[in-house]
Structure formats: C-alpha cells, structure tokens
C-alpha cells in the first residue's frame, strides 16, 4: 500500500514540475516540438542571397555583403529563440526578420518585419509602434531573443526580460531571416536558433 501511495506522490510531483517548466500560451494554443533551425555545423535548411555566410565555432557568421540568410520554410505562429552577437565595436547593425517574404527585385532586404539589431534599437520593430525597448542588451557579448508571434500579435523577451508586446502584424506567414548589412553594420554571429510552431485560435 505504501509503495502505491509513494508512486502516486512521485507521479504528481513529476507532473507539477513538467507543468512549471512548460511554456504558457494563450487560450486555445498548443505548442509543437522544438525544432533546431541551425545544427551548428552546416547551413542546411537556409538560403543565402546577396551576402557571404559561413559556420564558425558553432555559429553562423555573417561575413560580408548586403543580403539575407533565410529559412527555406515559412512559418505562421511560433516561438523563436536565437542568440546573437555583434562583432563591430560601435554602430553595429543587423536584424532578425520574421514573417518576411523575399526581397523586392533589386533590393537586399524585405520590407517587413524586422526585430532590429542596430545599436540603440535592439529588438525594436519599426512597423509596430509599441515594439520599443532599451537597455536590455549586453554590448560586445552574446544576447538572447525570445520572439513569440501569434495571429496579429508579437512579443519579445531580451536576455530573459520582457521587452515589449505589440499588435498590428498584417502578413500571416513568412520566413525567418538574418540580415547581413556588413559594409555599414559589421559582422554578426548567430547560434542556438530554434523554433516551436504554435497552433492557436485562428
């Protein structure tokens, strides 16, 4: 009898721990499995245009050019986690695009949407008025973005702290992409890129 009771208690503790460590979504949302978008070894699953990108010490190095490194798959509702580091000592500039299309003919980058990596504007999305924050990044060091996109809304955490929540997304689906702006913004490193698709209320 004691062994049965102990097993029940252990099962309850395990379930409670799992619930505490699981992401919390809005009503009706369900999360799929985490998928690594970058394996740390190759650029498989990515399309490189207008720039040079290589794998260096387990990270994607945007080495030269003005262009884009984007996923081959498009995504709608998701959580994206990514680590990034600017290698330029000042006036660095790059970005993480989401729900974006391919750039217009003759242009290096898409029009929307970009979580900025420009010095002093890290994480800001120009098209979303309330997507603004400051003082959450660590210059010269690795930084972590957690971007949640559901329906017309987006939310960003920077280094574990809430940066902003905003509404107003118009495109329903698109690629995740890294912006190469090397001549003006310098080289960047990206690693630990993973994504979890969400199935929320439509």
Identify the pLDDT of residue 200.
58
Q: What is the mean pLDDT of residues 186-198?
A: 98
Q: Would you call 190 helix, strand, or coil by DSSP?
A: strand
Please state, rounded to an integer, the average pLDDT across all residues of the chain: 88
For residue 154, which of 139, 135, 174, 134 has the smallest C-alpha distance? 174
Please answer whether residues 164 and 132 qualify as being in contact, where contact means their C-beta atoms are separated by less than 8 angstroms: yes
**Angle at CA of residue 165, ends 163 and 166, nearest 5°:** 130
Please give the structure tokens belonging to residue 93. 């500039």
- Give the confidence band of 30 by pLDDT, cuts at 50, 70, 90: low
What domains lie within the chain, and their CATH numbers?
Answer: 31-199 (2.60.120.560)
Work out the average pLDDT over 121-144: 97
At residue 9, the pLDDT reads 39
CA dist., res. 73 & res. 129, Å (int): 28
Residue 194, pLDDT > 70, answer: yes
pLDDT digits over 72-97, tens only?
A: 999 999 999 999 999 999 999 999 99
Residue pLDDT, tens place only, 40-71: 999 999 999 999 999 999 999 999 999 999 99
Q: Residue 77: helix, strand or coil by DSSP?
A: coil
Please answer whether residues 152 and 200 qualify as being in contact, where contact means their C-beta atoms are separated by less than 8 angstroms.
Answer: no
pLDDT at 199: 84
Which tokens is 201 given?
């209320």
Close Cβ partners of 191 (under 8 Å, ≥ 6 residues apart): 38, 40, 58, 59, 60, 82, 83, 142
The arithmetic mean of pLDDT across residues 138-162, rounded, is 98
pLDDT at 24: 39
């Amino acid at each position: 009898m004691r062994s049965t009771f102990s097993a029940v208690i252990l099962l309850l503790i395990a379930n409670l721990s799992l619930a505490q460590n699981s992401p919390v979504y809005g009503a009706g949302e369900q999360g799929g499995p985490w998928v690594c978008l970058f394996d740390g070894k190759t650029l498989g699953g990515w399309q490189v245009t207008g720039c040079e990108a290589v794998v260096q010490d387990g990270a994607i190095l945007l080495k030269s050019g003005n262009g884009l490194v984007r996923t081959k798959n498009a995504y709608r509702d998701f959580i994206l986690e990514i680590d990034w580091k600017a290698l330029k000592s000042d006036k660095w500039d790059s970005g993480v695009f989401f729900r974006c299309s391919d750039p217009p003919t003759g242009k290096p980058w898409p029009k929307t949407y970009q979580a900025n990596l420009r010095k002093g504007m890290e994480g800001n999305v120009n098209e979303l008025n309330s997507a603004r924050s400051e003082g959450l990044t660590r210059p010269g060091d690795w930084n972590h973005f957690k971007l949640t996109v559901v329906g017309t809304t987006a939310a960003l955490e920077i280094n574990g702290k809430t940066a902003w929540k905003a509404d107003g997304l118009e495109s329903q689906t698109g690629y995740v992409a890294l912006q190469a702006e090397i001549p003006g913004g310098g080289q960047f490193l990206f690693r630990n890129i993973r994504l979890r698709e969400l199935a929320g209320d439509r």
